[in-house]
Amino acid sequence: IDERGIYSTAKLVLGSAVGELEEAAVGLPAHPKRGATGIGELEIREVIVDEKPFQCSVCEKAFKRAWELFSHEVVHNEERPFRCDLCQASFKRHSDFKSHRLVHTEERPFRCELCGKRFKRSSNLQEHRRIHSGERPFRCPRCAKSFKTP
């Protein structure tokens, strides 16, 4: 760290299973809570930068982190290993499958704290909250009229 509190080099610790990766992190401001006094004492779990060095070989979309690229790559294959036993719908991601399972239940775990209405998905609750807040975040590029939903 130089006199301005800027890292000149940073060691990224990815964990023993993956190994260690050393990269230059030029121009990054020092973390205000860690207060590291020297590179030798510095262990950074994650460095956030604007660069996106991990690029998809199929569509060239770029990501900041390797796991984001790994997660993205499923969109390019035909495998849908997660299948619903009740309706035979299939999914590429386990998280999408878990979300889908609520369709077949009466469970509504997401509750509006203002009116008590319940929802199966957090995204539906977030959309509902706009009724109470009056927020209209989606704007028409032609007429500038705004809407609660896209």
Overall pTM surpassing 0.75 (yes/no): no
| CATH 3.30.160.60 domain range(s) in the chain | 110-147
CA-wise closest residue to 34 among 67, 66, 14, 10: 10
Rounded to 5°, the CA angle 111-116-119 comes to 35
pLDDT digits (tens, 9 = 90+) for 48-105: 557 899 999 999 999 999 999 998 998 998 999 999 999 999 999 998 999 899 899 9
Residue 119 backbone phi and psi in degrees, to 5: -135, 155
Q: Specify the amino acid at residue 50.
A: D
pLDDT digits (tens, 9 = 90+) for 99-132: 899 899 999 999 999 999 999 989 999 999 999 9
Torsion of CA 111, 114, 116, 117, to 10 degrees: -70
Q: Rounded CA gap, 46 and 67, in Å?
A: 13
Q: Specify the amino acid at residue 107.
A: E
Q: Are 37 and 30 in contact (CB under 8 A)?
A: no
Tokens 């609750």 identify what position? 125
CATH of the domain spanning 110-147, picked from 3.30.160.60, 3.40.50.720, 2.30.130.10, 3.40.50.11540: 3.30.160.60
pLDDT band, residue 31 (cuts 50/70/90): low
